[in-house]
Amino acid sequence: MTTRLNRLAMNDEGLVFDPATGETFTVNSTGLFILRELKAGKSSEEILTELREQFEATPEEAERDIMDFIAHLKTYQLIS
């Protein structure tokens, strides 16, 4: 799942760079948090719990944020 994701370089401001393709994009703080957790090998459930704690989100908000972001990552073929 994380082959392309693992090679991404990220900074604290949300700039994400794929050195293999030269593509760059930006993410907000929630997206950056999710990317880092995915790169660390955490499951969606683990990320959901941590996202709720980190951002004081409701379970519904956190789940929606994760699912939407993962859908975007799949669209850009960063994960399968």
Structural domain count of the chain: 1
Is residue 30 assigned to a domain? yes
Is residue 26 assigned to a domain? yes
Report whether 2 contacts 34 (CB < 8 A): no
- Residue 2: pLDDT above 70? no
Q: Which conformational region is residue 22 in: left (phi greater than 0), alpha (psi within -120 to 50 degrees), or beta?
A: left
Is residue 80 assigned to a domain? no
Is residue 22 assigned to a domain? yes
pLDDT at 1: 47
Contacts from 72-76 at CB under 8 Å and sequence distance 24+?
73/5, 73/38, 76/25
DSSP state at residue 18: -
Is residue 54 assigned to a domain? yes
Domain that holds residue 51: 3-75
Reported as a single tens digit per residue, the pLDDT across 39-72 is: 999 998 999 999 998 888 888 989 998 999 999 9
**Cut 0.85: pTM above it:** yes
Helix axes 44-55, 59-75, angle to 10 degrees: 120
Is residue 40 assigned to a domain? yes
